[in-house]
Structure 1
Amino acid sequence: MLTLTLHTLRTRWTAFLGTFLALALGTGLLTMTGLALAATLDAPHRTPERFATAPVVVRGEDTLRVPTRIGVRTQPLAQPHTIPAPVITRLKTLGRVTADRTVPLPGGLVAHPWSTAAFAPYGITAGRPPRADDEAAVTGDRYHPGDRLRTPHGTLRVVAVLHGRPVENAVFLNDARAARLSPAVRQLVVDAHPTAVRKALPDAPGVQVLTGDDRHRADPDPDRDREALTALNALFGTAGGVAAFVSVFVVASTFAFAVAQRRREFGLLRTVGATPGRLRRAVLAEALGVGVLASATGCALGGWGAPHLVAWTVRNDLAPAWFTLGGGHTWPYHLAFWTGLLVALAGATAASWRAGRTAPTQALREVSVDARAMTPGRWIAGTALLATAAVTLGLALTGDPGELLHRKSYVSRPMLLITATALLAPALLRPAIRLLPPLPGAVGMLVRENAAAGVRRTAALAAPVLVTVALAGSLFGATATLHGAEAAEARQRTTADLVVTPPDGAGFDRATVDRLREVPGAVVSPSATGSVYVLEDGVALIRSEAHTLDPAGTTRLPLTAGRAADLDDDSIIVNEEWAHHTVGDRVRVWLGNGAPRTLRIAAVMAAGTGGNGVYVTPANAPGAPVDRVDVALEQGADRDAVTAGLRAAGGQVTTTEQWLEAPGTDRTTRLGFLLVLGIALAYSGLSLVNTLLMATSDRVRDLTVLRLTGATRRQVLALVGAEALFVVGVGALLGLLVTLLNLAGLQGALGLLHAPAGLALPWAELGTAAGACALLAVPAAVIPARLAMR
């Protein structure tokens, strides 16, 4: 049997080439993602940056801590505490105190007092320190001495450029100007011994003393590295999961088609005395040989490609600049190798049982018509997966519809339906073929009849197209549908004509809001955004976005109970996602600054897409910046004049429709989806090329008969190309069907959550996926046919 296996591998190398490449690619991807995941575990310990040389940093409390029966639960405060003036006075008795202030500026710039630059890894490349109120020192290479920097607070003249590792895009002002722009002090540097500072502040609530590596907590966005690594884990995990899923799919499809092609060969072996067990062992031995070689090759390719993958994530700002590939990890190689080998054996198992059931009479078959393309096992597996997809969807819709809106759900759920549809594809193909428009002439008739007669071959070719199109449609369609629902929700919540936002993205000060109110013809409705925290089930500290509501303003809430007019300083409007959402009940919450309150539920909103948050009065959003001003035009007011007045008052003005345009998929998610789609396309190409090579080698006699009946070489090649294009169309049609079913479940969840439930099909991505498959399939069919006719 070993001799037979080696002989089969040598003579039927085209049948195993696609399997080898698919396994090698899958193992390589698993190795790459595994090594990248291992690198996230080797993240270096972050040391202080902005205050690297500061002896002690005193910072206002920025964390809410709530004791529960299972320990203290924490959440970052939306409005960190300022340092009280008596505490600053006390600290000045210990040594020099340098106050740090933060002033957001447009373009991602942040201004600080010049005195704090001494504690960061900066040095002056050119120029001198800023002294006058209109002078500034900047980091990076975007500006040069003498340049002008326009800000909402006036035009600054650049007098110095700083070098060193950039902590942020910083602008340094003289200390007096920074103090006027940002009077509050949330952190400061004390030139004293840490022990003396702690002894001086034993009874100061809301203040924390940072020394050593803890000073990193005073850096801008100290958790950015952890958040970026979490996103990388999700990206690499999704890519590795899709690679494993599609590789199993392709390998199983390839082995099944190869066994179907070799039924006469197996029939001859059965005629000369081969038992079913021997045939099964032969197929598994072939899979073992291919699996070992392909897995080893994939591990080598993955080890070569992992540094390039890590560099790509850094280059596209998906990972921190310091992220590099670590060394000393061997578990990704073991995981990838044994997974690849297991995939090969798992993909060949079903085919081996089918080979063992081959009857000796199969040696007498001369026709290629598939009388029985659907085996009992395929019916059972496909129906079971289809039922599983339906039942889990039904349970989610009746239990927790919001779960279907999470990314992990709409990324993983399509796999069930895709697999079920692919398994049932031979039974669905004939109806799908009849749905496609007929091609004209004799070639068109032959294309349709050949596709319907060779159902097994058609299913093997359509399956990878189905996977690619369904993945592209389901992933990008889900995000497009969700963003469309979010935009529709926002449209329903406002009656404003214009929306004014701060040019620096930080918030309006009181003086600017007053100037906006004075614009003739404008009815102004300011809105601030903060946070509210609630302890659910006594153990989970949940943070909700809190908006301030002006009952006479332009906001319309999607209420399911209660009245917005009942909102006062002793109440709150919550949404249905809250554990307690009964009108009239009282709920204990913590405000954005950590202050505890017990508020009455005045009204309840629909859960929607999850962006409704809660609504409170300005008294319960202390320190929350006014980040948006809705403007309604008075009767007879001139829109252009009002717009000009609002801009002159210091706002960035857009129409409501411009502001409410559906946001596109965030960059990280889109890049992740493109990576997944690229994996699916690579596998589709391999599977299409391999299956077409195998099919063409079996159709040499058919092509010869066509030539003998008078068909020209060009007509035969046109027939072969048209067949490949037709099968791609069938696969794309099935992929579109799967996409519609997946998005229908998402649409149902949105409807149950009282959110706008429009369905958005990503036609561009669907067309790109189908077109790429067609560009791969036609040459892969025509070129081998042309060589065969020679």
Structure 2
Amino acid sequence: MFKLGLRTVLSHRLRFALSLTAVVLGVAFVAGSLIFADTFSTAIRRNFAATTADVVVTPVSGLGGSAANLGDNNAKPPTLTADLATQIQNLPGVAATDPSLLLGGLQLLDKAGKPIDTYGVPTFGASWPRYAETATFQLVSGAPPWGNQQIALDSRTAKRTGYEVGDQVRVVTPTGTITARISGTITPGTSGLAAGAPLIAFDGASAQLLLLGEQGWTSIGVALKPDQDRDAVIQRIRELGGPGVHVRTGAQVTEDSETALDQAFGGMSAVLLLFAAIALFVSSFLIVNTFSMLVAQRSRELALLRAIGASRRQVTRTVLAEAIVIGLIGSTLGLLFGAGVAGVLQATFAELDLDVPTGSLQIGPGTIITSYVVGIGVTCAAAWPAARRAGRMSPVAAMRQEIALPPKAARTRVVFGLLLIGMAAVSYTSTIAARGLPAAVLIGLGGAMGLTGVVLAGPLIGRYAVQLLTLPFGRSTPALLGARNAQRNPRRTAATASALMISLALVSGLGVLAASAEASVDQGVREAIGTSDVLVSGDEGAPMSGKVAGIVAAVDGVAGVGRARAMTGQVDGQQIRVTGVDPAVLNGPIVTKVEQGSLDGLAGGSVVVTRPLARQFSLTPGKTITVVTESGRHNLKVATVIAANRQLNGVVVSLDTFGRIGGAGTDSVLYVDLDEGVTMEQVQQPLLQALADYPSVQVRDQVAYAEAERGPIDLMRNVVLMLLALAILIAVLGIVNTLALSVVERTREIGLLRAVGMERGQLRRMVQIESVTIALLGALLGAGLGVLFGSAIQTVMSEDGMAVRDIPELQILASVLIAAVVGVLAAAWPARRAARLDVLRAIGTE
């Protein structure tokens, strides 16, 4: 039976190629994601293999674990003192200690005076190590830096920017902008999130002055004397440092660093795998259709097998053997293409200077096994219903007609589909009144249930929908025959349309969410920013030096400057944003709607909370909220509850309180009021000239500020739509596949049509109408469901940053029109093949 299945595959090369394509694409995306993740992880471990000291001491963060503040928000990082390093040096078993400083938030300017583009990766500043044994980077060329007029730059960044040893460069640090000479080049860093990122090194004293503005170290590397009991030394250090220090071995630091990198970059692999799963799910419809049609076309062949003594089980095995062959070859090719996908991702990272760390592609046993399990498993699972029906087929019935789904099974399928649609509707109506992320998750699950229900009930829906969709094509013979062909097997038509429906549902739903998020940002900025004519902020939300506000205030035409600072905090284990403002900022520059209490308490050390946070933690004026920051736990009294506010999300405190609970002296946004009669155009150039030492600082009006706030949303939407394009491609292949096999199935019928006078052009039009009908059915169902559930998610998230619903009608209409065009293009090859069939041979086909 396996040999028979293999011979059947080889004798129908076209059907084999069409079925194979879906498997290859699905497996390639899965394999590519796994190979890229394994390559990245292996390179990280290789990079970490020779790093860190025997023991590493770091300060404990109030947010839990070892301090990990990297300068990407406005919190002061916990630090250790030089005295502690000296005390550890004097402990028995300790050979040497090396206090060091590592912080993010720097910017290197290129030769044109513009910040180099790091594509979202922070630029780090580090102190020069005392000992090679504890260093996380090494000197490549030149000499170590000395004084605040010298730096060392990692060799990768130096090569990309064209800088060499001896060149003068400008660097923006958290405390100001300096001009320094490159004294040497170093290897990229190999510590935590700084591994492979742009790295600038200073001597120890200069690093503290420029990065912190005060004395302190973020870690102490400890080298042990030979043959020392490491655990005993660690215990002595813990007793000396007390609960404020975290003591780890070099191996533990490596493991924690890998975990930190997984958290930072692992999400990308998860997204790729998610869309790989979507691609496989869509591919399964193509494979199910293919095998259903193959069994239908081979009904007489299979019936003859039964007639000459083949058992039901043997017939089933024959069909499954074909699936195994297709799955095996598809998995092999998919694995090879997956390596190509991973190579393209790696090359993209290298082009963006994000190949950190780098290494050869790693194709591990787990990836190989997963690829074959996925490819063969999905193919066999998709082929199983057709194989089972083939085994149950009556030889006499099969010789008379094609296989069809038994009426009872068809009714059960439709009833179950309608039941799922009803459950999705109940879930929708019961959840729509709720609010927050949990409600959005429930609606998402309801949407998946509804999509599944529509897929199962597709034959019933498609039977009537096809009649309506073919009305615009008129009552010509090609139109009537095209409609009849689409209606002939409603289950197959619905399955083909379902692949496109799922893809368009995702595209439309995400389109509604992205457009609503952008509209909400615009409205939030308009409503939250009142009297401010100009907003000054760092590029991509980076903190600005505290000196910037004074520079802006000194420019002619500026009436006043309001500061806002923000850092990450926690309330009851949940991450929140803590914002520090001048109290006067809430009376004009930022518009607030007080719902409970008064803003007067802000200056006295109390806090303001937004309504979503107050509702979540049952907060009212007079109650105490415990806010955890890098510096520890802080009990603060609630003075006011305000409506949800785009600029103030979470807990709001005065600038004095912000500094007291661990906030740094860098600003997030400056709200600038101008003198009466002065316009933005009049002060923009003087402001930019005054801020020449801070080229990354952006000076914008409200419209430009809102546009910049929408940037991450636009990027996310574009990435998601690019990934979903793969699923749409597979859906298009499904239409091509169905039509091509349908032409093969109807070869004799097409020959008869040509014999009675149908012209080739009419035949092509008939196939095109069938294709367009299938494409429109899937597109309209998908667009409608996507808009419905996207709108529902927006509704429940209306108080969590998505207050405005915006349905992108043009985008959705364009999707439907593109689907119609896709239907025409998908029919081109099958229609051409049908039109070129030899009439006599077609009529003689059995």
Fold similarity call, TM over 0.5:
yes
Is 1:494 aligned with 2:495?
no
8 Å Cα contact 1:498/1:653 also seen in 2:
yes
8 Å Cα contact 1:100/1:116 also seen in 2:
no
| Alignment partner, residue 694 of structure 2 | none
8 Å Cα contact 1:451/1:458 also seen in 2:
no
Please give the per-residue CA displacement for 1:669-713, whole angstroms capped at 9, x wherever unaligned: 8546534531x2443244223211221123334433443444433
| Alignment partner, residue 383 of structure 1 | 418
Please give the per-residue CA displacement for 1:7-63, whole angstroms capped at 9, x wherever unaligned: 9768777666644554455456555556666778868647769x9476876544335
Of 631, 656, 670, the residue aligned with 2:672 is 631
8 Å Cα contact 2:2/2:318 also seen in 1:
no
Report the residue type matching 1:379 in the other structure: V
8 Å Cα contact 2:569/2:575 also seen in 1:
yes
Question: Aligned ranges for residues 750-789 of structure 1 at < 5 Å?
Answer: 750-751=797-798, 755-761=802-808, 762-763=811-812, 766=815, 770=819, 773-774=822-823, 777-789=826-838
Between the aligned partners of 1:336 and 1:394, the Cα distance in structure 2 is 42
Gap change, CA 1:782 and 1:340, over 3 Å in 2: same
Shift of 1:242: 1.9
TM-score of the pair, normalised by structure 1: 0.80
Q: 556-565 or 521-530, which moves further after superposition?
A: 556-565
Between the aligned partners of 1:247 and 1:227, the Cα distance in structure 2 is 30
| Alignment partner, residue 70 of structure 1 | none
Is 1:184 aligned with 2:181?
no
Question: Aligned ranges for residues 310-709 of structure 1 at < 5 Å?
Answer: 310-317=342-349, 320-322=356-358, 326=362, 329=365, 333=369, 336-337=372-373, 340-341=376-377, 344-345=380-381, 347-349=383-385, 352-353=388-389, 356=392, 375-398=410-433, 401-403=436-438, 405=440, 414-429=447-462, 430-431=464-465, 433-435=467-469, 438-439=472-473, 442=476, 445-446=479-480, 449-450=483-484, 453-454=487-488, 456=490, 458-495=493-530, 496-502=532-538, 506-519=542-555, 520-535=557-572, 541-549=573-581, 550=583, 551-557=586-592, 561-567=596-602, 568-577=604-613, 579-584=616-621, 586-604=623-641, 612-622=649-659, 623-624=663-664, 625-650=666-691, 651-661=697-707, 662-665=710-713, 671=719, 674-678=722-726, 680-709=727-756
Report the residue type matching 1:225 in the other structure: L
Shift of 1:767: 6.4
Describe the SS at the equivalent of 1:740.
helix
| Alignment partner, residue 844 of structure 2 | none
Between the aligned partners of 1:178 and 1:630, the Cα distance in structure 2 is 31
Q: 88-97 or 632-641, which moves further after superposition?
A: 88-97
Shift of 1:565: 4.8
| Alignment partner, residue 138 of structure 1 | 153
Is 1:125 aligned with 2:141?
yes
Question: Aligned ranges for residues 194-209 of structure 1 at < 5 Å?
Answer: 195=233, 202=240, 206-208=244-246
| Alignment partner, residue 77 of structure 2 | 80
Between the aligned partners of 2:482 and 2:16, the Cα distance in structure 1 is 28
8 Å Cα contact 1:46/1:216 also seen in 2:
no
8 Å Cα contact 2:2/2:321 also seen in 1:
no
Report the residue type matching 2:494 in the other structure: A
Shift of 1:777: 1.0
Q: 596-605 or 558-567, which moves further after superposition?
A: 558-567
Describe the SS at the equivalent of 1:104.
strand
Please give the per-residue CA displacement for 1:52-97, whole angstroms capped at 9, x wherever unaligned: 47687654433534xxxxxxx8895643223357657867989887
Gap change, CA 1:210 and 1:506, over 3 Å in 2: farther
Between the aligned partners of 2:126 and 2:430, the Cα distance in structure 1 is 53
Between the aligned partners of 1:294 and 1:388, the Cα distance in structure 2 is 37
Shift of 1:653: 0.5
Of 161, 167, 170, the residue aligned with 2:199 is 170
Gap change, CA 1:101 and 1:753, over 3 Å in 2: closer
Q: 195-204 or 144-153, which moves further after superposition?
A: 195-204
Between the aligned partners of 1:44 and 1:780, the Cα distance in structure 2 is 48
Describe the SS at the equivalent of 2:677.
coil
Between the aligned partners of 2:339 and 2:743, the Cα distance in structure 1 is 39
Between the aligned partners of 2:308 and 2:789, the Cα distance in structure 1 is 46
Between the aligned partners of 1:46 and 1:301, the Cα distance in structure 2 is 29
8 Å Cα contact 1:575/1:581 also seen in 2:
no
Report the residue type matching 1:788 in the other structure: L
| Alignment partner, residue 842 of structure 2 | none
Report the residue type matching 2:78 in the other structure: H
Is 1:62 aligned with 2:100?
no
| Alignment partner, residue 779 of structure 2 | 732
Between the aligned partners of 2:807 and 2:406, the Cα distance in structure 1 is 40
Shift of 1:232: 4.3
Between the aligned partners of 2:131 and 2:559, the Cα distance in structure 1 is 43
Shift of 1:788: 1.7
Identity of aligned residues (%): 20
Name stretches of at least 5 consecutive residues in structure 1 with no aligned partner. 66-72, 536-540
Is 1:104 aligned with 2:141?
no
Between the aligned partners of 1:134 and 1:38, the Cα distance in structure 2 is 41
Between the aligned partners of 1:339 and 1:723, the Cα distance in structure 2 is 30
Please give the per-residue CA displacement for 1:340-368, whole angstroms capped at 9, x wherever unaligned: 346534554278459958896787679x9
8 Å Cα contact 1:418/1:467 also seen in 2:
yes
Shift of 1:201: 7.8
Shift of 1:528: 0.4
Of 310, 324, 332, the residue aligned with 1:300 is 332
Gap change, CA 1:79 and 1:474, over 3 Å in 2: same
Report the residue type matching 1:296 in the other structure: L
Shift of 1:660: 1.2
Q: 203-212 or 614-623, which moves further after superposition?
A: 203-212
Please give the per-residue CA displacement for 1:365-384, whole angstroms capped at 9, x wherever unaligned: 79x99998993023123213
Gap change, CA 1:292 and 1:414, over 3 Å in 2: same
The number of aligned residues is 766
Shift of 1:534: 2.2
Report the residue type matching 1:674 in the other structure: M
Report the residue type matching 1:728 in the other structure: A
Report the residue type matching 2:674 in the other structure: L
Describe the SS at the equivalent of 2:576.
strand
How large is the Cα RMSD of the aligned pairs? 4.8
Between the aligned partners of 2:509 and 2:203, the Cα distance in structure 1 is 54
Q: 660-669 or 287-296, which moves further after superposition?
A: 660-669
Of 250, 272, 275, the residue aligned with 1:239 is 275
Shift of 1:527: 0.4
Gap change, CA 1:23 and 1:715, over 3 Å in 2: same
Q: 640-649 or 22-31, which moves further after superposition?
A: 22-31
Shift of 1:631: 1.8
8 Å Cα contact 1:458/1:727 also seen in 2:
yes
8 Å Cα contact 1:55/1:211 also seen in 2:
yes
Between the aligned partners of 1:2 and 1:155, the Cα distance in structure 2 is 74
Between the aligned partners of 1:87 and 1:265, the Cα distance in structure 2 is 85
Between the aligned partners of 2:489 and 2:594, the Cα distance in structure 1 is 54
Gap change, CA 1:180 and 1:233, over 3 Å in 2: closer
Gap change, CA 1:414 and 1:316, over 3 Å in 2: farther
Shift of 1:162: 0.7
Report the residue type matching 1:654 in the other structure: R
8 Å Cα contact 1:472/1:769 also seen in 2:
no
Shift of 1:546: 0.9
Please give the per-residue CA displacement for 1:428-451, whole angstroms capped at 9, x wherever unaligned: 333355257723683664466435
8 Å Cα contact 2:613/2:650 also seen in 1:
no
8 Å Cα contact 2:238/2:247 also seen in 1:
no
Gap change, CA 1:563 and 1:223, over 3 Å in 2: farther
Report the residue type matching 2:343 in the other structure: A
